[in-house]
Amino acid sequence: MKENYITQRLILSRLGLPDADFIFELLNSPEWIEFIGDRGITSRAAAEEYIKKITNDPACNFWVVKIKDLETPIGIITFIKRDYLDDYDIGFAFLNKYSKKGYAMEASAAFLMDQIKIDGRSNILAITTKANSDSIQLLEKLGMQFSKELDRENSSLLVYSLMVDKFLLNELTRQFFDVFTNANQREPDWERIYNICLPETLIIRKSNVSSDIYNLSSFIEPRKTMLSDGTLTGFEERETFAETKIIGNIAQRHSGYQKEGYINGVYFKGKGNKFFQFIRTEGCWKINSVIWEDE
């Protein structure tokens, strides 16, 4: 496993003694105590002992998640082999003030992608409680599915297992939406769309009166101009609903979406529906068509 992972906004680094102040804060947060449990970390020295215990256990792997530009620690990603589970499970915990910003999703997805593509893992688990609705929601967004319920130390745990193909399709879809984002000083990553789509990908915009049909180049070029010359600013489009069907090496996804931004300085907000088609080719999934209609 890697010592570090880098995403668009974050850096994941192996847990170490310099992280003691942050671990003290995280493990004493109300959310950690409610959903994970009180570890009795009452001082920085106790936090250092906790870190030593973790780093000396080969079954425990912790990464501290930091905001890239500020190097501010905001949470952790864990990967642990527990004696009561057949495989490693992924976990995450973030300070409450950094929740609802997509950081846990971004960090978890980057780690899972590496485990699937580099280490070749296909069976990754996660555990949570019924009361932790935010955790359950994130696991399902990652493409994990409820597997079973088990009792452990007088508490009931929900076990989720990773559906690898669904996770990979989730990531392709998320990356497609992200390509065109320039909100929060982000710059669109135009090369990414060529990595996630087939060269022959067809993109269609449907309206009540017409159908606009594009290939990748004719679709990207005008949007590249709008997103760089000040015409379209603060733009972000995100998936709000997803239903995916996979049959062998082909798949289809219905995505509901919301979008917002500024056109020539005037704020707008909208929503609509997209249908993606995917094909598995040369061992990986690619987008081969997208059709959308704004409401």
- pTM over 0.75, yes/no: yes
* Residues with pLDDT less than 50, the chain: none
Question: Taking the domain 166-294, which CATH number applies?
Answer: 3.10.450.50
Give the model's pLDDT for residue 253. Answer: 98
Residues of CATH 3.40.630.30 domain(s) within the chain? 4-162
Residues of CATH 3.10.450.50 domain(s) within the chain? 166-294
32-61: pLDDT as tens digits? 999 999 999 999 999 999 999 999 999 999
CB-based burial label for 97 (10 Å; 0-12, 13-18, 19+): exposed
Locate 100 and state its tokens: 């609802």
d(CA 80, CA 96): 23
Question: Taking the domain 4-162, which CATH number applies?
Answer: 3.40.630.30
Give the model's pLDDT for residue 229. Answer: 94
Instruction: Find all residues with CB under 8 Å of 227, minimum gap 6, and list them.
Output: 180, 182, 188, 235
Total count of residues recorded for the chain: 295
172-228: pLDDT as tens digits? 999 999 999 999 888 888 999 999 999 999 999 999 989 999 999 999 999 999 999
